[in-house]
Structure 1
C-alpha cells in the first residue's frame, strides 16, 4: 500500500488541483492512504474533510517581507514546522510527498528532504510561487499547468481538474449537459450563450461593463449567463435572456453551455477553457504579482482567447470589439478549436504518472535531488519548459 502526503492550500487554486489529484490516486488504488497537509485557516480546512480525506494541520507561516518581530521569530518556527512534517512522514510511513503551493508546501518539501522521501511539485500558475520555486531546485519531479511556466525540471502535465468538468471533453457528454443547463438556468436553447464570470468573489470591472452593455449583447442574438460573485456591486437587470447569479454551484453545467466567455484568467479557469474548447475574452486581475496575465499567455498565443487589460474592458470596448465578434460564428468556432489545441483534459492522470515516477525512483535508488529521471518525463507527452 502506498501512502501519499499531499500538501497545499489557502486558496481554491491550490486546494482544487490537490483534491482532483487525490481523487485520481484513490481511483487508481482504493487501498492507498492519502493524507493532506494544510493549515487550519485555509480553504482546505473545510474542503478536504468534506471530500473525505484526512487533514493534518501545521502553523501558517508567511515568509517575512520586512524586518520586524515576526521576522525574528520566523526561523525558529519554520525549523520546528519542518521537523514536525518530517516526523509526520516517518510516523505515517509516507512514500511520497506532493506539493501544490501555498503555506504548507515549503515545509513539506524541506520535511521530505529531511526524511529522505521523494517529493513532487505541481505549479498551477504560469508565474510560479515562492514555495514551488524553492522546491523545484531540489526535485526532478516538477509538473506544470502551462507550457510557458519556467521552473527547473518542469514537465507539462496540465491542471488536475474535477472529473465532472473533464468528462465534458466528450462531445456527447457535453451536449447532454448543455441540454440540462438550458433547463436549470432557464436559457433559450436556440441561442448561443455568453458565460461571464470573475470568480467566486466576482470582478468589479467585468461585472460593471457587462451589466452596462447587456442590451447590446442580447441584441446580437446571445443568451448571457452572468455569475457575478459574492461581492457583486450590480444587480439583475431583469432582461429576457439575461440570467444573473450571485453564485453557481454547477459550474460543470455553466461550462457545458458556454459558447464564449468573459472571465478573469485564473489557472484553473483557463485550464477548464482549454480542456473544453471554450474561447473567450480574458481580463486579468490587475492587482498582485500579475500572474493572471502570464497564465493567459498560452491560450492567447494559440488564438483561443483575446487579452484585454482590466482598465480597457469598458463599455466602449464591448461595443467596438466584443459585439461584432459575437456576430462572427466562424471566428468563434476557430477560436474554440485553437483553445482545444492547448487544452489538457487529463491533468490528474498525467500528474499521477509523474508521482508514480517519483515513487519508482525512490525504490530503485534514484536520487531525489536536482538530478534524476528527467528524460522519462517524455513518457507523459510533456514538454521541458525549463
Structure 2
C-alpha cells in the first residue's frame, strides 16, 4: 500500500499520523509512506528521524480576525494545492490521511480533487478549523471522542475510533521506563509534562510546590520542563530542594515517553489529545491543566470529558498554584481507593485498538473506490 500522511505544527497532529503509518506498515509489510508537512513545524525534524520520506509545502494558518495575512494565506493555500498535486501525482498514493493542522488542508484538498481516497483524523472533542473545512471533501473521518462524530455530519463515513497513539503506547516496555529514570521497578512516581514544548505556568507551579514535597516521602516526582525552560527551572528546583532529598528528577525532554508513561502512577499535564489517548489506554489517573491558548479552548473540553468520567481532576490555569496542585496530588497519592477508581475510569475510556480501527477504515475506503 502507498500512503501519504499529512498533519503538523505540533506533536498532537504528528504522532497520530506516524502511529497510523506504523500500523499500515505492520499490517502490510513493504508499504510505502510519504509525509507532507512544512519546514516550520516539528514534523520536519520528527518525521525524518522515524525513517519516513518527507516533502514540504509552504502554508500558514488563518487568523480569526480580519487581516491582510488571510489574503496571503489564501494565496499560499492555492500554491500549496498546486505543489501537493505535483507530489501526489509523482508518489501515486492509494490514500491520503490527514491528522489536522493547517498543512493538511491543501494536501487533502488536492487529493480529493485528483480523485484519490482521503481520510482525516480528529484528535480533539471540538474539531479544528482545517478538519471542519476538509470534512465536506473527504471519504472518511475518524474521531477520538464520541461527542465529535455529530459535528462531521457532512461526511458519509464517520468512525469513533479513538486516537492511534493509544495503540502504540501499549507496546512500550514498562521495565525500561523505570530503568531509564534510575528507579527500582514498581516505584510510585508522579510524571509532570507540559507538552512537547513545555508550559511555563506549570513549571512555575512546580517550583512553588517543591518545598511541600517532603510531605509525600514515598513518592518520586519526575518533572519534564521542555527544553527552553530546563535550565532556569532545574536551577530553581535545586535551590529549593533540601539537602539529601533524592525523590525529585528534572528532565528537559524524554525521548522514551511511552516507556515512562507505562510505568507512571499519576500523570499531570496539559490535555492534548495524544497524551489523553495514551494515559487512558494505560489506565493512568491524571490531573489535567488544559492550555487556555488553543483554538476553541479545545483542551478544556478534552479534560472535562475525562473529569466527568471520574478519570481525572481538572485545574484551570487561572486557578493553578503550587498549593492547589500539591493538594490535588496528595489527595490522589494518599488515597489508594481513589487512585484505583480513577485508574479504572481512565482505562474504561481507553481505546487501545484505535490504530487497527483506523486501518480497517482505510481499507474500506480504498475498496469503495
TM-score by length of 1: 0.84
- Are 1:129 and 2:118 matched, yes or no? no
Separation of aligned partners in 2, 1:205 and 1:162 = 27
Q: Please report how far the alpha carbon of residue 68 of structure 1 lies from its aligned counterpart in structure 2 after TM superposition.
A: 5.5
Does structure 1 retain, via aligned residues, the 8 Å contact 2:167–2:352?
no
Match of residue 269, structure 1, among 271, 275, 290:
275
Separation of aligned partners in 2, 1:3 and 1:73 = 33
Separation of aligned partners in 2, 1:156 and 1:112 = 23
Does structure 2 retain, via aligned residues, the 8 Å contact 1:86–1:115?
yes
Separation of aligned partners in 2, 1:249 and 1:110 = 33
Match of 2:219 in 1: 222
Match of 1:322 in 2: 329
Does structure 2 retain, via aligned residues, the 8 Å contact 1:202–1:228?
yes
- Are 1:161 and 2:157 matched, yes or no? no
Structure 1 stretch 308-317 or stretch 89-98: which is displaced more? Answer: 89-98
CA change 1:60–1:72 in 2 (3 A) is: closer
Separation of aligned partners in 2, 1:71 and 1:280 = 39
Residues 1-386 of structure 1: pairs in structure 2 closer than 5 A: 2-63=1-62, 65=64, 70-149=69-148, 150-152=151-153, 153=155, 154-161=158-165, 165-168=169-172, 174=174, 177=175, 180-187=176-183, 189=185, 191-220=187-216, 221-232=218-229, 233-235=232-234, 236-237=237-238, 238=241, 239-289=245-295, 290-362=297-369
Please give the secondary structure, in 2, of the residue aligned with 1:293. Answer: helix
CA change 1:75–1:209 in 2 (3 A) is: closer
Q: Please report how far the alpha carbon of residue 308 of structure 1 lies from its aligned counterpart in structure 2 after TM superposition.
A: 0.9
Separation of aligned partners in 2, 1:353 and 1:217 = 47
- Whichever structure has more helix as a proportion of its residues is 2
Please give the secondary structure, in 1, of the residue aligned with 2:60. Answer: coil
CA change 1:303–1:93 in 2 (3 A) is: same
Q: Please report how far the alpha carbon of residue 115 of structure 1 lies from its aligned counterpart in structure 2 after TM superposition.
A: 0.7
Structure 2: give runs of 5+ residues left out of the alignment: none
Please give the secondary structure, in 2, of the residue aligned with 1:306. Answer: strand
Q: Please report how far the alpha carbon of residue 148 of structure 1 lies from its aligned counterpart in structure 2 after TM superposition.
A: 2.4
Separation of aligned partners in 2, 1:27 and 1:282 = 33
Q: Please report how far the alpha carbon of residue 293 of structure 1 lies from its aligned counterpart in structure 2 after TM superposition.
A: 0.7
Please give the secondary structure, in 2, of the residue aligned with 1:286. Answer: coil
Please give the secondary structure, in 1, of the residue aligned with 2:313. Answer: strand
Separation of aligned partners in 2, 1:101 and 1:190 = 37
Separation of aligned partners in 1, 2:123 and 2:24 = 18
Separation of aligned partners in 1, 2:338 and 2:166 = 29
Please give the secondary structure, in 1, of the residue aligned with 2:348. Answer: helix
1:249-298 per-residue CA deviation (whole Å, 9 max, x = no partner) reads 22123212211121111111111110101101101112233121112132
Does structure 1 retain, via aligned residues, the 8 Å contact 2:287–2:315?
yes
Separation of aligned partners in 2, 1:129 and 1:50 = 27
Please give the secondary structure, in 1, of the residue aligned with 2:171. Answer: helix
Does structure 1 retain, via aligned residues, the 8 Å contact 2:6–2:98?
yes
TM-score by length of 2: 0.88
CA change 1:110–1:246 in 2 (3 A) is: closer
